[in-house]
């Protein structure tokens, strides 16, 4: 007997339960039924279709109310479970007995049950089912499209069978706000190989046999007025995104699925393109995971500064990767993004400003060992570069690609920044400026780093 409680109380109770735990409780009452159905059909995965997934897709095809519950869709290389299903050894005796009797009846009579077609799933039937379901998912807000193979897997973009690349995808998602696209095959030694770019483009866009261009950019363009989150590779997209104007983008992640040191030829993200012009007034978070050269960063920041005369950037969070980090980049970042609150810098090397070595990889003694410090006038240059610069930066994270001991020296660099940029109140997104116990700060280091360099230090003695 179900306890009679107001719907508001049941809603409050359900709010304390995890998503998956609601599904077994769907028969409790109407409130739990609605919440459980919403959770059960919230995500649709089209990368693996087994018996349960096949039934779920059939339900979505036949029931409009259930199709409206779907909020997230994952589209990838579909793997079919094409073998027959047999009674599980964990079934109860009654379940096993029922299965044996049913199978015996089918063999004797030659009849098949209404569900017997689920014993196998043909690629043709599966893709017909997928093509029927997708147009019905009008409330989808998140879509993830995966094109990523390992080196041992089959090359190329295939969805079940060769004909599936022409799946009709002339579909509108009026509520789409988040789109993830992974479009690279990572090869350890040779970098990126994308063998079937045209097929991938057709899959994401309309699957028209006559399509010959990278139509996944057109797919994004069709949703440019609703997208709020976008992740895309710099190199794979070439110049396709440059002409697109967005109106609501708030978060952007620019990636590069490449080996370190490989420099893409794409410049669409650093030029004064419609893309860059349109995102400056709206984007609050920008992550650039590509290992940027000094020239790329300088061009990008110079372009942003030039465009800022017309539209002031509202960027609050910036994460950027440097091949070689130079202290001169900080004041330029401050000038380009005056409202920046959180900055994350990751680098491979640090510029020593013409000392004995042109660049180094910091070790656990950097930057607070006196002999090491004179070769890396980081703090001295920082104070000079930021002189007269107005900046409201609150949190800074500095990382060097390397082993665990790198973390110690990076805390030291953050400490120096905290001393010379008064607005900083947090390191490493911790909300405070407390240093780990193993980071030792010399008591007189400010006198050392702020002193004028001697001739011997300049030549790197």
Residue closest to 330 by CA, chosen among 263, 257, 278, 382:
382
Tell me: pLDDT of 273 over 70.
yes
Do the Cβ atoms of 261 and 294 come closer than 8 Å?
Answer: no
Question: What's residue 342's pLDDT?
Answer: 97
Token duo for residue 316: 């609050």
Burial of 433 (0-12, 13-18, 19+ CB in 10 A): middle
Question: What's residue 303's pLDDT?
Answer: 94
Tell me: pLDDT of 285 over 90.
yes
Residue closest to 269 by CA, chosen among 294, 303, 295, 246:
303
Higher pLDDT, 58 or 438: 58
Higher pLDDT, 19 or 350: 350
Beta carbons within 8 Å of 95's beta carbon, 6+ residues apart: 87
Question: What's residue 297's pLDDT?
Answer: 92
Beta carbons within 10 angstroms of residue 117's beta carbon: 12
Beta carbons within 10 angstroms of residue 166's beta carbon: 18
Residue closest to 81 by CA, chosen among 15, 176, 160:
160
Q: What is the pLDDT of residues 197-231, one digit of tens each?
A: 444 444 444 333 333 333 456 667 777 888 888 87
Tell me: pLDDT of 172 over 60.
yes
Per-residue confidence band for 77, with pLDDT thresholds at 50, 70 and 90: low
Buried b (16+ CB within 10 A) or exposed e, 351-383: bbbebeeebbebeeebbbeeeebbbbbbbbbbb
Token duo for residue 340: 């920046």
Question: What's residue 316's pLDDT?
Answer: 96
* pTM for the structure as a whole: 0.59
Do the Cβ atoms of 130 and 167 come closer than 8 Å?
Answer: yes
d(CA 157, CA 164): 10
d(CA 301, CA 333): 7
Question: What's residue 128's pLDDT?
Answer: 77
Do the Cβ atoms of 99 and 92 come closer than 8 Å?
Answer: no
d(CA 5, CA 342): 47
Q: What is the pLDDT of residues 233-253, one digit of tens each?
A: 777 665 678 888 898 889 998
Give the mean pLDDT of the chain.
68
Tell me: pLDDT of 320 over 60.
yes
Q: What is the pLDDT of residues 327-348, one digit of tens each?
A: 888 889 999 999 999 999 998 8
Beta carbons within 10 angstroms of residue 3's beta carbon: 8
Per-residue confidence band for 300, with pLDDT thresholds at 50, 70 and 90: very high
Question: What's residue 363's pLDDT?
Answer: 54
Question: What's residue 365's pLDDT?
Answer: 56
Do the Cβ atoms of 299 and 329 come closer than 8 Å?
Answer: no
Q: What is the pLDDT of residues 385-401, one digit of tens each?
A: 777 777 899 999 998 87
Do the Cβ atoms of 378 and 420 come closer than 8 Å?
Answer: no
d(CA 388, CA 386): 6
The top-scoring range by mean pLDDT among 152-166, 190-204, 294-308 is 294-308
Angle between helices 30-40 and 7-14 (to 10 degrees): 40
Do the Cβ atoms of 290 and 256 come closer than 8 Å?
Answer: yes
d(CA 136, CA 173): 9
Q: What is the pLDDT of residues 16-56, one digit of tens each?
A: 565 555 555 555 566 666 677 777 788 888 766 777 788 88
Please give the share of the chain, as a percent, with pLDDT higher than 90.
13
| Cα dihedral 313, 317, 323, 324 in deg (nearest 10) | 80
Per-residue confidence band for 232, with pLDDT thresholds at 50, 70 and 90: confident
d(CA 20, CA 17): 8
Rounded to an integer, what is the distance from CA 414 to the centroid of its chain? 26
């Amino acid at each position: 007997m179900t306890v009679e409680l107001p719907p508001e109380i049941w809603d409050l109770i359900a709010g304390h339960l995890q998503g998956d735990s609601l599904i077994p409780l769907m028969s409790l009452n109407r409130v739990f039924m609605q919440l459980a159905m919403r959770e059960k059909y919230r995500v649709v995965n089209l990368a693996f279709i087994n018996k349960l997934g096949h039934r779920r897709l059939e339900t979505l095809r036949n029931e409009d109310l259930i199709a409206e519950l779907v909020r997230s869709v994952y589209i990838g290389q579909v793997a079919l479970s094409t073998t027959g299903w047999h009674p599980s050894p964990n079934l109860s005796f009654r379940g096993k007995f029922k299965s044996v009797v049913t199978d015996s009846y089918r063999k004797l009579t030659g009849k098949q049950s209404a569900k017997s077609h689920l014993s196998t799933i043909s690629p043709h039937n599966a893709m017909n089912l997928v093509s029927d379901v997708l147009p019905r998912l009008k409330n989808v807000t998140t879509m993830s499209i995966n094109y990523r193979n390992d080196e041992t897997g089959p090359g190329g973009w295939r969805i079940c069978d060769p004909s599936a690349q022409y799946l009709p995808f002339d579909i509108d998602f009026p509520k789409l706000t988040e789109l993830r696209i992974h479009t690279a095959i990572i090869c350890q030694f040779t970098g990126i190989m994308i063998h079937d770019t045209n097929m991938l483009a057709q899959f994401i866009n309309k699957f028209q046999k006559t399509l010959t261009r990278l139509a996944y950019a057109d797919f994004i363009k069709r949703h440019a007025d609703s997208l709020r989150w976008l992740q895309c590779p710099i190199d794979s997209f070439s110049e396709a995104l440059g002409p697109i104007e967005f109106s609501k983008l708030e978060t952007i992640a620019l990636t590069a699925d490449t080996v370190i040191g490989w420099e893409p030829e794409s410049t669409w993200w650093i030029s004064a393109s419609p893309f860059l012009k349109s995102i400056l007034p709206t984007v609050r978070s920008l992550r650039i995971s590509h290992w940027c050269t000094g020239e790329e960063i300088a061009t990008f920041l110079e372009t942003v500064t030039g465009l800022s005369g017309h539209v002031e950037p509202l960027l609050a969070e910036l994460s950027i990767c440097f091949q070689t980090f130079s202290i001169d980049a900080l004041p330029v970042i401050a000038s380009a993004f005056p409202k920046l609150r959180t900055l994350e810098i990751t680098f491979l090397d640090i510029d020593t400003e013409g000392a004995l070595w042109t660049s180094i990889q910091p070790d656990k003694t950097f930057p607070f060992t006196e002999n090491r410090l004179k070769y890396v006038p980081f703090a001295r240059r920082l104070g000079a570069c930021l002189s007269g610069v107005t900046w409201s930066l609150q949190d800074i994270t500095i990382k060097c690609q390397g082993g665990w001991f790198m973390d110690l020296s990076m805390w030291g660099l953050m400490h120096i920044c905290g001393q010379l940029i008064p607005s900083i109140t947090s390191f490493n997104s911790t909300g405070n400026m407390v240093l780990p116990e193993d980071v030792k700060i010399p008591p007189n280091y400010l006198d050392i780093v702020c002193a004028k360099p001697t001739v011997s230090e300049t030549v790197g003695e």
